[in-house]
Structure 1
Amino acid sequence: MAIRKILTTGKHLLCSCLILIAMPIITYGKQTKPNIILINVDDLGWRDLGFMGSAYYETPNLDKLAGQGMVFYHAYAAAANCAPSRACMMSGRNTPAHGVYTVDQSERGDPKTRKIIPTPNRDFLPDSIYTLARMLQDNGYVNGTFGKWHINEDPLQHGFDLNVGGSHRGNPGSGGYFSPYKIDFIENGADGEYLTDRLTDEAIQFVKANKDNPFFLYLPFYSVHTPIMGKAELIDTFAGKPVAEGQDRADYAAMVASVDQNVGRLMAVLDALDLADNSLVIFTSDNGGIRDISYQTPLRAGKGSYYEGGIRVPLIMRWPGNIQSGSNTDFAVTNMDFFPTIKSIISAEVPADLQLDGQDLSPLFSNQSMEERALFWHFPIYLQAYNPREDGGRDPLFRTRPGSVVRKGKWKLHHYFEDGDYELYDLEEDPGEKNNLVRSQVEIRNQMIELLEAWRLEVNAPVPDQANPLYDRAFEMNLINQQLNEL
């Protein structure tokens, strides 16, 4: 496959072939159920890791973790920015089910450049939603979260027993990666203490305190979200390093390195406490990286865009004895799959009316085939550009405009609501989404349109169509032309 050929150019990559060996029947260790450890890095790009092909960032601990578990090369966030992705992951439901589409308001960008009135956004996950944490709590788990929450005021209201540092806040604030901190539910450490280190310290204490009980450890680092602030000694190690295309910021590399070091610390504690074999570790990112900071070549665009660079994310799952070490897969997955997968492996008792939009991935652990399914994204709002020179979006004013996306197999279809336009890409041959095949692959286009429309009808997805009275086409075109002339 073209994508795999590109991936295998990285010197730290795992074997490029699909290595899935038949697994034994799943059994647990001395506890009746495995511990669940979910590490969710903020804005970490798909290729910002050594095992994913980066020649600039250094991630030896994560490369080791990848070699001990399964790497998912076609893993996706359920949304292209922070809050909706986290809402989808914790609820197991796609955006139309909970209405969290973005951070803050849906009317982003200059009102004169928006042709339609977007769907209103819900800021927080509704209290009525049965979360992954609630399911684990109801099934005997002790739950702790350490870091960015972002989908209501307090994660204790959604099934956690302990919260350090999590609230509605989406980033640590100006200068906030060093104590004294500016986030909620955390006591300041010594002056200059680094937030990523502190959150891991707290997580390690939680593991030690609950080593004899099944626990759910959610570790959503604020890193590597802006402001870009690395530790000085790590910045120095990258300052003179040869750069790769679009990956050249020593301060960002230092943040990635801190995440890597702290994951290594946590994994060492699991080993020391003899917990590794009875712990499912999931490592991922909440959305694509910011392209103005780090390119995800060959993928197009970045955070906030529904091109691949905005939604494709790194994903490792490790569970010794149940997931073959050194394995990998091209099966397309989403962070909404975590909920049903965990539900399956712990044989959870859940409410009879529970609905989940993801799929149990545990058959992949034992080399069973899974039927190809469609993945859907729905974003009926606007998200303005970060940097038109770097974003790689459809136009220079927005990272994305209101629309929906479907991927099935190698095909991916974008539908934009303002003008009814479609874009169709063959991801196998064109992972960078440069060659729109909407006119040459008419049969595939029509099949994908039918698939997308049926899904939107099934989930009652809102499709905004009311004209915006403030829209000014002449103003918009003048602004676009100005931006294009500067590019």
Structure 2
Amino acid sequence: MIRILPILLILLCVACTGKKEVKAPNILIINVDDLGWKDVGFMGSQYYETPNIDELAGQGMIFTNGYASASNCAPSRACLMTGQWTPRHGVYTVTPSARGKSEDRKLIPTKNTHTLAAKHKILPEVLQENGYTTCHAGTWHLSDNPLEYGFDINIGGAHNGLPKSYYPPYKNVAIEKGKTEYLTDLIVEKALNFIDTVQKPFYLNYAPYAVHVPIMPVDSIVPKYEKKSPWQGQENAEYASMVDNLDRNIGLIIGKLKERGLYDNTLIVFTSDNGGLYGITKQKPLRAGKGSYYEGGIREPFFFVFNKKIKPGTKSAVPITNLDIFPTVLKYAQVGSQSLQLDGKNLAAVLEERQTTMERPLFWHFPVYLQAYNIHDNETRDSLFRTRPGSVVRKGDWKLHYYFEDDGMELYNLSKDIGEKNNLVTAHPEKANELLELLKKWWEETNAPIPTELNPEYKTEL
């Protein structure tokens, strides 16, 4: 028995040595700028053509109730990067918070945080500390330099939320010249070079400036869309050329992953930072667009792909937000999150179809003003603002809007009224009060600022 023991130990060591090591997955987050819920084929558009995105969506799980955690660029991106609700990081809008005419604003809005505080432990920092090479490509919008926030490589990212031009000289986008000139083509060119040369597990935050204004078309693509019939408010051929070009570039990224044998071990997340720009594109039957907290401003095309874990061709109606990306990525990267304060949820059980529901309220907080860009064509609460100060909560099928200026409330059952046309506050006061109590509790838990100071220059009664 004593002689057998060493042999068993040797065999055990050999078995342990021969055990195949689980390689950390690569992470690709595609966070498009201003792409609306129905600006892609897989969500039903019959005007825009997005074959590469559609094919990719079919390789994973599509969320039909996917949301951004804010209705405009900077706060949405801050939420994704921190995994936290807006009151925790204080980025509510693009500076300043007092947008629109002062005489139309009843309240003094909450002061906005322009630069994300360095105290926040954000996704690229956590991945970088756990052996990942991290690369940002495109819109950053949260500070002057993403390299100070956990990225090893920066391709064109800075504090600006949009380029002054998609054609050189780009003016406010610092990026080295390449073989291509159109800005999103140049960004993807350099992102492809990163994928081609990176040796360690990587995180690529691909956030092309497209399809944000200025609307600068890809001239060779425009004629295709000029020949197409309008579809439910989608008819801008120049904007469509930008969507088409975006699709091409995403196809190039996926092709490069496959070429290098990386695709099967890459977790891919696709979403948009906020709703489509109403007037340039529409998301029928959703109401309004970017800057609004109606569904058209916050509901997004949203899917996850990971060949090793997520079954192709699946869909989920579970309501999620981009806050859920952070903890989900950490789960698949096998990185602990116990020391982090994350407001999102790990979606792995839903993605792997071990769970079909996730009961929780979702919150949005916007204690500032965002003016309308077209007072003659909008679907917002009033024609002067896309959003006045307020909060929103969704629980189950029910969604409550609450406004700080007048304590106004709007209640909708999204399962029956996705277009938010029928305010049910009077018909269902008990449901409105239930959701309002959830909001009040959440305000307290997150120390959410509630604007109450009256603006002495206010002249217009609601």
- Per the shorter chain, which TM-score range? over 0.9
Match runs of 1:428-439 below 5 Å: 428-439=415-426
Counterpart Cα distance in 1 of 2:172 and 2:201 = 29
Amino acid at match of 2:140: W
Q: Which residue is equivalent to 2:108?
A: 117
Counterpart Cα distance in 1 of 2:409 and 2:416 = 19
Q: Which residue is equivalent to 1:366?
A: 352
Counterpart Cα distance in 1 of 2:359 and 2:297 = 22
* 1:177 corresponds to 2:166: yes
Counterpart Cα distance in 1 of 2:174 and 2:148 = 14
Q: Which residue is equivalent to 2:3?
A: none
Counterpart Cα distance in 2 of 1:313 and 1:63 = 14
Gaps of 5+ in 1: 1-28, 478-487
Q: 1:128 aligns with which of 99, 119, 129?
A: 119
1:430-473 C-alpha deviation (Å, 9 max, x unpaired): 00100000010011111111111111111110111111111013
Shift of 1:30: 7.3
Give the conservation status (yes or no) of the 8 Å contact 2:178–2:189: no
Shift of 1:388: 2.0
Q: Which residue is equivalent to 1:357?
A: 343
Amino acid at match of 1:206: F
Q: 2:258 aligns with which of 271, 274, 289?
A: 271
Counterpart Cα distance in 1 of 2:21 and 2:267 = 14
Partner SS, residue 143 of structure 1:
strand
Q: Which residue is equivalent to 2:141?
A: 150
Q: 1:54 aligns with which of 9, 22, 45?
A: 45
Give the conservation status (yes or no) of the 8 Å contact 1:180–1:188: no
Amino acid at match of 1:180: P
The number of equivalent residue pairs is: 442
Give the conservation status (yes or no) of the 8 Å contact 1:37–1:218: yes
Q: 1:398 aligns with which of 385, 389, 395?
A: 385
Shift of 1:391: 2.3
* 1:387 corresponds to 2:378: no
Partner SS, residue 232 of structure 1:
coil
Shift of 1:32: 1.7
Shift of 1:208: 1.0
Gaps of 5+ in 2: 1-19
Q: 1:208 aligns with which of 193, 196, 199?
A: 196
Counterpart Cα distance in 2 of 1:468 and 1:291 = 29
Q: Which residue is equivalent to 1:254?
A: 241
Amino acid at match of 1:162: I
1:359-378 C-alpha deviation (Å, 9 max, x unpaired): 00011122122431100000
Amino acid at match of 1:204: L
Q: CA RMSD in A?
A: 1.3
Q: Which residue is equivalent to 1:450?
A: 437
Match runs of 1:101-112 below 5 Å: 101-112=92-103
Give the conservation status (yes or no) of the 8 Å contact 1:31–1:213: no
Counterpart Cα distance in 2 of 1:365 and 1:439 = 38
Give the conservation status (yes or no) of the 8 Å contact 2:30–2:269: yes
Counterpart Cα distance in 2 of 1:39 and 1:233 = 25
1:419-440 C-alpha deviation (Å, 9 max, x unpaired): 0011000000000100000010
Shift of 1:387: 1.0
1:38-90 C-alpha deviation (Å, 9 max, x unpaired): 11110000000011010000000011001111111111001000000000000
Shift of 1:221: 0.5
Partner SS, residue 154 of structure 2:
strand
Partner SS, residue 135 of structure 2:
strand
Counterpart Cα distance in 1 of 2:264 and 2:123 = 22
Amino acid at match of 1:360: N
Amino acid at match of 1:193: E
Q: 2:182 aligns with which of 158, 176, 194?
A: 194
| 4+ aligned runs moved over 4 Å, structure 1 | none
* 1:43 corresponds to 2:34: yes
Partner SS, residue 229 of structure 2:
coil
Give the conservation status (yes or no) of the 8 Å contact 2:128–2:134: yes
* 1:283 corresponds to 2:270: yes
Shift of 1:353: 3.8
Q: Which residue is equivalent to 1:85?
A: 76
Shift of 1:295: 0.7
Give the conservation status (yes or no) of the 8 Å contact 2:318–2:358: no
Give the conservation status (yes or no) of the 8 Å contact 2:372–2:384: yes
The change in CA–CA distance for 1:144 and 1:31 in structure 2 (over 3 A counts) is: farther
Shift of 1:153: 0.5
Higher-Rg structure is 2
Partner SS, residue 386 of structure 2:
strand
The change in CA–CA distance for 1:31 and 1:233 in structure 2 (over 3 A counts) is: farther
Amino acid at match of 1:188: K
TM-score of the pair, normalised by structure 2: 0.94
Q: Which residue is equivalent to 2:15?
A: none
Match runs of 1:460-475 below 5 Å: 460-473=447-460
Shift of 1:344: 1.4
Q: Which residue is equivalent to 1:340?
A: 327
TM-score of the pair, normalised by structure 1: 0.89
